[in-house]
Amino acid sequence: MTDERRSHPRYRLRRRVVVRIGRNQVDAWTVDVSRGGVRLQMPYRPRREQTLEVALPGPESSTFVTPARVRHVRRHPDGVLVGARWLPERSRVEP
């Protein structure tokens, strides 16, 4: 099994985003992003392998929504750190 965690450069990006998990919606913060995934700081712990929809602000008041699958979860003093891998084939832009 290959370790793909470090296959893409990661960029620190501290931005508030909306995360949808099923019918629930929570505010979260991005910690860093890469072409392969995102690390989020969330208020509660999602399950591993659960699919999230991350809504990132886009240009001209649009929103870029892309699903991501939870790969790892760690407790943190300010909440929970979640590492998720993008599922780009289902990404979309919402007005």
Asked whether residue 82 is domain-assigned, the answer is yes
Cα–Cα distance, 49 to 64 (Å, whole number): 22
Asked whether residue 26 is domain-assigned, the answer is yes
| pLDDT tens digits along 24-43 | 999 999 998 888 899 999 99
Domain that holds residue 26: 11-94
- The confidence band for 2, taking pLDDT boundaries of 50, 70 and 90, is very low
Q: How far is CA 36 from the centre of its chain?
A: 10
> Under a CB-based contact definition with an 8 Å cutoff, are residues 27 and 16 in contact?
yes
Cα–Cα distance, 21 to 82 (Å, whole number): 13
For 59, phi and psi rounded to 5 degrees?
A: -70, 150
Q: CATH number for the domain including 89?
A: 2.40.10.220
